[in-house]
């Protein structure tokens, strides 16, 4: 992230604290530093912030504690803002750096030591006479360090506020066998434990990709290679060890949780799975909040500046911990989601979203183009039955992928995350657009959008993408949701005979979105979305082991019910 974005985030964090309205204690905040020993003797750098008058070690008082564990030394400026402000509002704030980061001892190996070190830390805290109770707080990797101890935390840990992260790592790493480069390749380059100066996009394109670390990054990263070779959810890497342990934790949790997510955060899919895995007893005291922001709680609607975004994490975090740790009240059950376009929040009785109905639109060849151009129709009812004359063809060249512009599973390319203005229909020969008639009345999309495609290819395996958009009355299109699939993933690894029609499904993450009266829907179908997803080479097998690519000739069969988009509709009246 650019330095100016970090600086603005720091300024906004302080403004959020200033706007809280909580009682503020007069006096100075003391910052203490020490090295806390783990069970194997490795010492971790730990900071404690408390009011100077509160000599926590020997004055006999007890205090509510908010704990964070982080690998990000560059964020110490942010942690100091939290520490100074939380201390003045009745908390003791502690941040500890993971082993091998900042001045903590040991080797930095992402994820590997977080459970043991986290449990050692909270058990030490719970044994301190000055600790009244403990709340864990963290976003992203800092939420991981909370999730991985949530099932065995001592009784003094009363709840966790966990943002923009989930326990199903496979969902955050892959979609239908294609790796999420903009999330995990970029993260690996920035957290390799050494400086990596290689060009990011060149790294994503490198083939075979399982050699990119040695060839461009200065040496092998074993943990990254594990990620890029384990392309299936049932691969041993995801079904054993730490990632299986993490995935299974939500069903074992027995404390209140506040799970905070954004519609355009790259961990949304995983976080929703984590929430859905919580047992019903725990859910009675849990909050799920999904707003219209990105991984950094920033508005990511290029076409709108909402008045009701409510994207201050500080506000909800401080209020939740005040109720839980200071007032010692159970938080109760809440599920709040933001409806994009309506600029309003709605409270759901339950999750997942239960739509009132599902509306289907059908892909149809434009009579004008007779299948020769790349702008076609999206109909409210099925067109003529499928036939050879109802097939739309395009050429997919992996060396010339469609650039990601507006997306939900991106991190490095932060300026293109969210809902963005889109190119006009027909902007590329390998992007096929389907346009509906204007909506006679507005409607709210609520839940998961699914696109069913009847397709064929002249390659043994290939990819298909789908992006749903709203085309406003002024003709400008903005993306709602997008995703990707492969023939292999949707056909159980069965042998695909090139040229044969086959059904694939592009499944999208949940969304809440108001389509305005007079707007059109637009669905773009293609075969790449880079660097949001790895480029499919059009060869079967593990993507990271492939050394070459080839051009694919793709067909989309329209007519009948084979190619369609199913959209869940939510009645808010």
Same domain? 453 vs 484 = yes
Same domain? 431 vs 312 = no
Instruction: Work out whether strand 287-291 and strand 334-339 pair parallel, antiparallel, or are unpaired.
Output: parallel
Instruction: Identify the CATH number of the domain in which residue 502 sits.
Output: 2.60.120.260
Length in residues, the chain? 573
Strand partners, 504: 453
Which backbone phi and psi does 234 adopt, to 5 degrees? -90, 10
pLDDT score recorded for residue 370: 45
Q: How far is residue 41's CA from residue 36's CA, in Å, rounded to a whole number?
A: 9
In a domain, 512, yes or no: yes
Q: Which residues, at least 6 apart from 221, have a Cβ–Cβ distance to it below 8 Å?
A: 188, 192, 213
Same domain? 534 vs 442 = yes
Same domain? 463 vs 402 = yes
Q: Domain boundary at 201, 229, 257, which? A: 229
In a domain, 239, yes or no: no
In a domain, 16, yes or no: no
Same domain? 115 vs 135 = yes
pLDDT score recorded for residue 32: 97
Same domain? 330 vs 440 = no
In a domain, 271, yes or no: yes
In a domain, 390, yes or no: yes
Same domain? 411 vs 296 = no
**573 residues of the chain, pLDDT tens digit each:** 456 777 888 899 999 999 998 999 999 999 999 999 999 999 999 999 999 988 888 878 999 999 999 999 999 999 999 999 999 999 999 999 999 999 999 999 999 999 999 999 999 999 999 999 999 999 999 999 999 999 999 999 999 999 999 999 999 999 999 999 999 999 999 999 999 999 999 999 999 999 999 999 999 999 999 999 999 999 999 999 999 999 999 999 999 999 999 999 999 999 999 999 999 999 999 999 999 999 999 999 999 999 999 999 999 999 999 999 999 999 999 999 999 999 999 999 999 999 999 999 999 998 654 444 899 999 998 876 655 457 999 999 999 999 999 999 999 999 999 999 999 998 999 999 999 999 999 999 999 999 999 999 999 999 999 999 999 999 999 999 999 999 999 998 889 999 999 999 999 999 999 999 999 999 999 999 999 999 999 999 999 999 999 999 999 999 888 899 999 999 987
Same domain? 326 vs 413 = no
In a domain, 409, yes or no: yes
pLDDT score recorded for residue 1: 47
Same domain? 380 vs 518 = yes
In a domain, 350, yes or no: no
Same domain? 256 vs 382 = no
* DSSP category for residue 232: S
In a domain, 236, yes or no: no
Range of the domain at 65: 24-163+249-300+305-340
CB 306, CB 343: distance < 8 Å: yes
User: DSSP letters along 482-497, please?
Assistant: EEEEEHHHHTTTPPP-
* DSSP category for residue 301: B
pLDDT score recorded for residue 368: 59
What is the SS3 assignment for 501?
A: coil
CB 443, CB 516: distance < 8 Å: no
Cα separations (Å) of 107 from 38, 111, 112, 149, 560?
A: 13, 12, 10, 20, 59
Instruction: Identify the CATH number of the domain in which residue 124 sits.
Output: 3.40.50.1820
Q: How far is residue 459's CA from residue 475's CA, in Å, rounded to a whole number?
A: 36
CB atoms within 10 A of CB 23: 8
Domain count, the chain: 3
Same domain? 142 vs 269 = yes
* DSSP category for residue 516: P
Q: What angle do CA 438, 441, 442 make, to 5 degrees?
A: 95
Same domain? 256 vs 402 = no
CB 213, CB 225: distance < 8 Å: yes
Q: Domain boundary at 313, 340, 367, which? A: 340
CA R_g for the chain: 25
Alpha-helical (H) ranges within 398-540 are: 487-490
Which backbone phi and psi does 432 adopt, to 5 degrees? -100, 120
Report the 3 state secondary structure along 5-62. HHHHHHHHHHHHHHCCCCCCCCCCEEEEEEEEECCCCCEEEEEEEEECCCCCCCCCCC
Q: What share of the chain is helix, strand, coil (3-state, %, to 5)?
A: 25, 30, 45
- Torsion sign across C-alpha atoms 164, 298, 135, 187: positive
Q: Which of 75, 246, 236 is nearest to 172 (CA)?
A: 246
């Amino acid at each position: 992230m650019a330095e100016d974005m970090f600086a603005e985030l720091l300024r906004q964090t302080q403004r959020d604290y200033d706007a809280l309205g909580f009682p503020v204690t007069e006096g100075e905040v003391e910052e203490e530093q020490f090295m806390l020993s783990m069970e194997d003797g490795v010492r971790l750098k730990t900071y404690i912030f408390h009011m100077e008058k509160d000599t926590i070690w020997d004055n006999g008082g007890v205090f509510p504690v908010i704990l964070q564990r982080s690998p990000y030394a560059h964020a110490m400026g942010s942690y100091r803002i939290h520490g100074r402000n939380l201390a003045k509002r009745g908390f003791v704030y502690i941040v500890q750096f993971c082993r091998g980061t900042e001045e903590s001892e040991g080797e930095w190996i992402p994820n590997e030591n977080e459970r043991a070190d986290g449990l050692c830390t909270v058990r030490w805290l719970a044994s301190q006479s000055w600790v009244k109770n403990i709340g864990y707080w963290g976003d992203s990797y800092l939420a991981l360090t909370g999730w991985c101890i949530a099932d065995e935390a001592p009784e003094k840990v009363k709840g966790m506020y966990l943002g923009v992260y989930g326990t199903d790592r496979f969902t955050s790493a892959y979609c239908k066998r294609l790796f999420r480069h903009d999330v995990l390749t970029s993260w690996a380059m920035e957290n390799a434990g050494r400086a990596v100066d290689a060009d990011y996009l060149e790294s994503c394109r490198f083939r075979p990709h399982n050699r990119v670390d040695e060839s461009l990054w200065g040496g092998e990263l074993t943990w990254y290679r594990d990620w890029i070779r384990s392309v299936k959810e049932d691969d041993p890497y995801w079904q054993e060890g730490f990632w299986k342990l993490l995935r299974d934790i939500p069903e074992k949790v027995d404390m209140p949780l506040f799970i905070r997510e954004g519609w355009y955060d790259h961990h949304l899919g995983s976080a929703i799975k984590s929430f859905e895995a919580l047992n019903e007893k725990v859910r009675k005291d849990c909050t799920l909040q999904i707003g219209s922001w990105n991984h950094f709680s920033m508005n990511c609607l290029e076409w709108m500046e909402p008045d009701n975004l409510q994207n201050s994490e500080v506000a909800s975090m401080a209020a939740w911990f005040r109720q839980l740790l200071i007032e010692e009240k159970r938080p109760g059950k809440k599920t709040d989601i933001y409806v994009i376009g309506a600029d309003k929040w709605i409270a759901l009785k339950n999750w997942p979203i239960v739509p009132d109905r599902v509306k289907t639109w059908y892909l149809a060849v434009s009579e004008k183009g007779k299948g020769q151009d790349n702008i076609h129709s999206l109909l409210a009812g099925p067109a003529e039955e499928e036939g050879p004359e109802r097939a739309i063809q395009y050429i997919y060249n992996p060396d010339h992928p469609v650039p990601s512009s507006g997306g939900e599973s991106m991190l490095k390319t932060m300026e293109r995350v969210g809902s963005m203005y889109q190119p006009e229909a027909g902007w590329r020969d390998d992007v096929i657009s389907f346009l509906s008639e204007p909506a006679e009345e507005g409607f709210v999309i609520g839940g998961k959008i699914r696109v069913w495609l009847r397709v064929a290819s002249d390659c043994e395996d290939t990819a298909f993408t789908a992006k749903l958009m709203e085309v406003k009355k002024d003709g400008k299109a903005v993306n709602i949701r997008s995703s990707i699939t492969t023939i292999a993933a949707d056909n159980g690894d069965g042998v695909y005979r090139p040229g044969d029609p086959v059904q694939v499904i592009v499944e999208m993450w949940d969304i809440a979105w108001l389509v305005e009266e007079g707007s059109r829907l637009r669905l773009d179908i293609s075969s790449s979305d880079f660097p949001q997803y790895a480029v499919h080479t059009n060869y079967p097998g593990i993507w990271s082991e492939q050394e070459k690519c080839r051009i694919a000739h793709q067909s989309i069969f329209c007519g009948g019910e084979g190619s369609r988009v199913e959209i869940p509709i939510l009645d808010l009246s």
